A and B are shown apart, each in its own frame.
Chain A
Amino acid sequence: MKTIFTLLLIFLFSVHAFAQDILIDGTIVSTDDNMPVPGVNVIVKGTTRGVSTDFDGNYSINVNRGETLEFSFLGFISQSVTIQNQTTVNVSLVQDIASLDEVVVIGYGSQKKADLTGAISTIKAEDIEKTPNSNVMQSLQGKVAGLQVTSSGSPGDSPTVRIRGVSSYNNGDNTNPLYVVDGMFYDNIDFLDNSQIETVSVLKDASSVAIFGQKGVNGVIIIETKTGKFNQKPIFTYNGYTGFQAAQNVVKLANAEQFVTMAYESGSDADIQFVENAMQRYGRSRVNPNIPDVNTDWYKEVLRVAPIMSHSIGVSGGGESVTYGVSTNYFSQDGILDMKNDYERFNIQSNVDVKLSERLKMGTNAIFSNATKYNAENGAWFQAYFAVPILPVYDELNINATPIPFSDATQIGYRSSQNPFPVMRFNDNQLKIRKILASLYLEYSIIPDKLAFKTSYRHDYSTISERNVRLPYFISGNSQRETSTIIRQEQIYSNQIWDNTLTFKENFGDHNVTLLVGSSYRDEQYNKLKATGKDIQGIGLESSWYLDFADPTSFSNQVEEIGDRFYALGYFGRLEYNYKSKYLLNATVRREGDAKFPKEIWVTTPTVGVGWVISGEDFMQDNGIFDFLKIRASWGQLANGALGGSAGTRTVSQVTTDIGDVSTNGIISSSNFTDLEREILEETNIGISARMFQNKLSLEADYYIRDTKKLVIPVDQPIVSNTVLENVGEMRNKGLEISANWNQSINDNWNFSISGNIATLDNEVTKINSASGYFDTGQAEFRQRSMVGEPIEAFFGWEVVGVYQNDTEVQNDPIAVANNLVPGDLIFKDTDEDGDIDADDRVVLGSYLPSFSYGGNFQVSYKNFDFSLAVFGQTGNEILNRKRGEVLFTNDTNMDADLAINRWHGEGTSNSYPSSAGRRKLWNQKMSTFFVEDGSFFRIQNIQLAYTIPSGALLGKNMPETKITFTAERPFTSFKYNGFNPEVADGIDRQTYPVPAIYTVGVNIKI
């Protein structure tokens, strides 16, 4: 209709055009992407004469000399050009970031950004594309205040994502936000390619996520994939990059000399014997005859430089009543652990929207993702830390070893084999991850522009087919696998959502109302079938890695199935109201039933938000500073459905045992069971949105208080080794989030923008229901305690105040005398000052949650050059150096160089690290500040240099617009922590996969 009208206009005005003297033509493009903009209104100022640009952004119009042409289009800043002698006027329109009409995707709809009352941040495709990785969330690291992204180095693994701290206890999935991809709910979006994504909206506060119900309790991230536009010529794009990854900040391990020194100083005859054994077996070093002639740097041995690449091709466009988008992507990344540990993904995506009639619209969207992932043996990072440097990787003397003569530490006397290579070489863990998202919607406008009904059905069908092959080998009696094993595991997820909504929109004078009611039905099914077979015929050939070739008798008791199915049903309603777009009110209510909570199936949660656009008031007109100013406040309640289902009753499990040399079945019924009520989250958010100085500066600030009631924690049960989820108390997260952005165009050639964000987080347990006043979690030896006034799951132990330096100091301290301490032992703080060191002296040693995080981005462009630099950092979090803590269980292994060099070995040598002998003493192995370290870091997140060759510029008319990029991802990180990765999601670093730096070269082509 509109198009017809436009054509009519063109026709009308072209009649008039005969009267004008100059024919002006030109092309209108967007400065943003240099793509032509169709439909731009070209009007002669002060007249009614005008035309619109066509599909290619071209126009032509007759004007008189001296007249002014005005170019305007929704979402762009209007421009005008006065005609003198020129016949061609090409205009590059600048996108109006400040546009009041900017629309933000919210649940089951969209809303003008200006009318929002909650805390929502939106990230556009171009900010995502700079980061070379397989997961879009990684690209958001440091970009959104209050969004904590903890990278994962292992190819194909998803980063840990938290919005505004932890609303629930930390157990991997429980703190993940809900991802809504084109309307479908996901816990994990590892199947999405960055190039497919149009926008990402991060919904932070309760009022914004309420419409999604209890799955949204940890915040919601809405992702819209790319699609075409109506009346748009097909646009072909190619995006690709290739590069390599290298480990950063690799921890220096103690070398042979340092290790041997530690062994001698340990006072352990056994350890000295092992060193002797190594010298006997491998010879003595010519430099220092008291150390073996081996100096293995195990990290160096297990690390490698690994390639990464991505290629995407897409086409999108649309006609009068149809839009379409099709894309395909190939991504491949090898791991930096030197073993088969890579990730490969091939995606196809398509979407079509059709206007069937004036009133009826339908659409379908499909994403298919096919990935192959080889899991890393993460244990290798742990083993590499511990393997003694006096052990070589290969040992030709190990003549019985087959098929590769790896060395084995038991052969020089150590208890374990230590060498990480056997598990890296003889395990092959392949996962085929296939995901299909198919969706269909039908939208009918019952009363045009007023009342619309929409029904949509989405199905996510995912399978993870795992084949874990354990090849036979023999290194030593302690490190061997006589029979080959294949573990096959099939996991199927089948999740369906059926949504029905009715939207009513009406303006009653200055009162604007949008009312939404709807229902959402969810069916989540999971099934896992696992079987293990041994002794595979032809194990040497990958073509026989099927259970069919396993010894049939080996299947006995090696087949298991787990399955569950949950249904949930929700009804919701939302009112959006504003008066003159000045006074805003948004209210939501959702009632939801969920089979996971037998005690209390239904729950109703309300939220409300209000806003005042101060800049809309008369007294604020022409104030010269604020272009836009809004204050907003919201309050909301959410129920948490992310926690696993309650059994609600004792359950039965199968066991087998030997009775008279016959494998016999029995049952055990659990002695504890979960019977939870939902956690209830209550959040108040107060915020300011402002744009200042001709929209050059935009500012968003939010302060929130988020209370988790009926907090659920896995509680250690007395006397038995078991934890049970219980509603134990309350927790509060509060914080301030500020993000600011300065955008300025200096002249035609120079543009720059600078943005920054900061977020504070204060996490605190506010109520505990138990008599003891605390709850313990974590490993008993590395206690984490939740108590009122302290962060949840805080590290809990003793505080080291120094090291006993000499005998006098020991003699003068009754505590040292009572515990038979010697110089080189740690001095703990006698917190309660009762003259001894015992359990009562334990204090909170810190939290794994950062209390402050910040990010920044600087971008400058000069003509066709673009340069950007992003930084990111966090402070206030602690990391438990669990690698150092392993000395509790095995103490004859290697350690990091820092620990060896800075050990106490005589008066004045150290006041923080114990002596080598002391390290092995139980006294010094207490959970203490010795093991808990500062996790702060600062990082240069991304540096990118890009050069754009405009179409035709280089090779003539046929040359498409091409952009070449050079990217360094995470090239520099600075921190104090003694590990090679300060990014540890749960704060316990035992075998964290290091996060590499990535360097890539990329090309983007648009036709």
Chain B
Amino acid sequence: MKKLKQLLKLLTMLLVMFITVLSCSEKLEENDGQLSADDLDFTLSENMVLPLIGAYSETYSRGWEDPLLIGVRGDDVNAGGVGDAQGGFTNADLFSYDNGYWMFNQVWENFYGDITDIVNSRETIEKYKEFAAGNYIDLADQYIAETKVLSGFQHLQMSRLWSDIFIITTSNVSEDIDKGVKTKEEVMEYVSDLMDEAIPFLPDMRPNERTDIPGGITRYTALAIKALANLELENYQIVADVTGQIISSNKFSLYPDFYELFKKPGQYSNENLFELQFSDYNSDSGDVNNHLYAPFGPASWTPIVTTASPGWGFYEPSLKYIKFMIDRDDETRLVTSVCFTPRGIDEIMLDPDYTTLPSYISNVTPDGDIFNDYARAMFASGKHYLPSNQLTTGRNDYGSSKNFIVIRYAEILLMYAEALTQGASGGSMTADQAVNLIRNRVNMTPIAGVTTDDVMDEKFAELGMEWGIRYFDMIRLNKYDELSYDGRTFTAEAEYLPYPQDQLDLLPLEN
């Protein structure tokens, strides 16, 4: 009997233990340490801005390869370090593309990574909108419009490089991929339409007038991207209309000091329609959001601020560009666009036509930084150069805290001027007036009766080294002779990059 009692006691104990263990099983549903996108509190409308900032963050945090690969093929720029630096990059400059070269895939993934994140952000904002009331509904529409502009800009850059690409419209990427690649025309039309969708909801002001998101997207950024897309489509009348709209808003003006436009003083100027924002927040420690400008910098220099870091010498303004500028005596823009090394200056003078150079050509920049000889390149890009004396104390990275201008009013004026010379009609001003506004800033004498060629020369001088503008103009106008410079031969097949091998392995794609 006693034994039985003991046994019962024991069994009760066992039962209690098993029940305790069982009660733990509810915990199997928990997932600590993760925040599901569906668990965001969409009723907190003031948080609606967070996914939008995320979309800006993705757009701003550009890989260093992006502007390099976009720009290198133009006759304004050479790859630094032929035979020494990255073979695939040098080859791209020479219009010979190896689709296994890592940088092609990197740039592809950089842009598409951003696009998918931006589309995600848009969908998150749309969920906030469902619970929003009053002003927040309008704000949601504006934010959604901003993400469309950011997405359109990146699609535009992609299609310029690869022509036919996937258009990504939803977070269900595979659905868009299943639709296959779209032709460049289709992509550009998509971008143009996307801007039309966005424009009504965007603030009617300059980016630097925005107080909620200073430097963010406005109606004019969208108009500018629409103009760029239509320029690619050679819809010159639309280009003239859209750029005319920007001009006649009278909101934008050229920043008076061309040299400083590309330095810290030019940030958030009235000329900028779109700039990627970077900052070290004027402190030597703490948070920093910077672009890696080092590839643009000289591999050797003697900066005024001795601790300032040099760069890699990957991006070299071409002799063709320099001689073109010397021929025009385009002093301000040449000195701004090109940093010279002693070796580079000697190289120019090897040409019997350039044995004596204007005195402003020097390896000392206007701010006093001295560019030394280095093997990889003879010149460095001045527009991507931040004088060492503008660096925040304690921040030595090349170009630290400098914003990256993407679209500026000068380009709008010149697109407008070109559209008119291509036969479009515009109501804002004449092509001459537009071109001379540009020339006037840099003390160049006015010209009259401008032709398309004049506008192209002006674009070359004004926008050299910036975002491959020159290259995309030349392939649009089929000016292969301009691209066939310094021993290169450009042919139609070289216009676009091949799809990266890595993507061919992953997708039903063919080159």
Contact = CB atoms under 8 A, between A and B. Distances in A.
| Max chain A Cβ within 10 angstroms of own Cβ: one of B18, B27, B52 | B27
Given A446-B10, A477-B310, A720-B112, A891 B84 contact: yes
A110 interface: no
B277 A657 contact: yes
Nearest to A776: B505
B52 A666 contact: yes
Contacts of B430: none
B269 to A, nearest CB: 13
B24 A666 contact: no
A474 B502 CA distance: 40
Interface string B41-59: 0000000011111111110
A663 B289 contact: yes
Contact of A661 (B36, B112, B279, B504): B279
Given A482-B284, A647-B36, A839-B501, A659 B28 contact: no
B278 interface: yes
A660 B309 contact: no
B307 A477 contact: yes
B387 interface: no
Interface residues of A, number: 99
B216 to A, nearest CB: 7
Contacts of A269: 83-84, 375
Nearest to B124: A669
A558 B375 contact: no
B287 A558 contact: yes
Nearest to B308: A477
Contacts of A563: 32-33
B116 interface: yes
Nearest to B106: A721
Interface string A519-538: 10101000000000111000
Given A482-B284, A595-B27, A655-B54, A719 B101 contact: no
B461 to A, nearest CB: 30
Interface stretch (B86-94, B437-445, B463-471, B478-486): B86-94
Interface string B272-292: 000001110111111101000
Given A650-B38, A658-B277, A660-B277, A780 B289 contact: no
Contact of B117 (A648, A651, A668): A668
| Max chain B Cβ within 10 angstroms of own Cβ: one of A413, A523, A593, A923 | A413
Given A645-B31, A718-B503, A413 B299 contact: yes
Interface in B354-402: 374-376, 394, 396
B277 A659 contact: yes
Contacts of A344: none
A593 B28 contact: yes
A888 B286 contact: no
A550 B285 CA distance: 10
A11 to B, nearest CB: 34
Contact of B17 (A274, A455, A717): A455
Contacts of B53: 655, 657, 659, 664-667
Nearest to A921: B87
Contact of A657 (B289, B396, B500): B289
A651 B34 contact: yes
Contacts of A719: 108-109, 112, 116, 166, 168, 173, 177, 503, 506-507
A273 interface: yes
Contact of A922 (B91, B278, B281, B500): B91
Nearest to A272: B375
A892 B375 CA distance: 11
Interface string B100-144: 111001101110110011011100100000000000000000000
A926 B99 CA distance: 11
A643 to B, nearest CB: 15
Contacts of A553: 283, 285-286
Given A521-B24, A553-B285, A718 B32 contact: no
B215 interface: yes
Interface string B461-499: 000000000000000000000000000000000000000
Interface residues of B, number: 104
A553 B392 CA distance: 15
Nearest to A796: B505
Q: Is the interface of A mostly helix, strand, loop or mixed?
A: mixed
Nearest to B290: A658
Interface stretch (A312-320, A322-330, A564-572): A564-572
Contacts of B112: 719-720
B7 A446 contact: yes
Nearest to B83: A268
A656 B121 contact: no
A926 B173 CA distance: 30
Contact of A781 (B28, B102, B215, B286): B102
B61 interface: yes
A535 B395 CA distance: 12
B51 A669 contact: yes
A415 interface: yes
Contacts of A482: 284, 307, 394, 396
Contacts of A922: 87-88, 91, 98, 100-101
Interface string B250-288: 000000000000000000100000000111011111110
A718 B84 contact: no
Given A269-B375, A480-B307, A651 B37 contact: yes
B28 A720 contact: no
Contacts of A557: 286-287
Given A556-B286, A651-B36, A920-B83, A667 B54 contact: yes
A669 B28 contact: no
B349 interface: no
B287 A556 contact: yes
B281 to A, nearest CB: 6
A500 interface: yes
B427 to A, nearest CB: 34
A415 B166 CA distance: 37
A568 B30 CA distance: 11
Given A595-B30, A720-B113, A721-B113, A650 B286 contact: no
A336 B93 CA distance: 45
Nearest to B277: A658
Contacts of A483: 284-285, 394
A889 B86 contact: yes
A109 B81 CA distance: 68
A268 B84 contact: yes
Nearest to B31: A595
B109 A720 contact: yes
Contact of A554 (B7, B113, B285, B308): B285
Nearest to B395: A482
B460 interface: no
Given A483-B285, A601-B28, A920 B213 contact: no
A639 B283 CA distance: 52
Contact of A565 (B32, B306, B500): B32
A478 interface: yes
Interface of A: 266-271, 273-274, 400, 410, 413, 415, 444, 446, 453, 455, 474, 477-478, 480, 482-483, 498, 500, 502, 519, 521, 523, 533-535, 550-551, 553-558, 562-569, 593-595, 598, 601, 645, 647-652, 655-671, 716-722, 772, 776, 780-781, 783, 839, 888-889, 891-892, 920-923, 925-926
Given A551-B284, A569-B25, 9 more contacts: A413-B300, A477-B307, A478-B309, A564-B33, A661-B279, A667-B51, A669-B121, A776-B506, A891-B84
In the A-B complex, the 10 residue pairs with the smallest Cβ-Cβ separation, listed nearest first, are A666-B53, A660-B214, A270-B375, A534-B285, A554-B285, A657-B57, A564-B33, A721-B109, A666-B54, A270-B84
Interface of B: 7, 10, 14, 17-18, 21, 24-25, 27-38, 40, 49-58, 60-61, 81, 83-88, 91, 98, 100-102, 105-106, 108-110, 112-113, 116-117, 119-121, 124, 166, 168, 171, 173-174, 177, 213-216, 268, 277-279, 281-287, 289, 299-301, 303, 306-310, 312-313, 374-376, 394, 396, 500-507
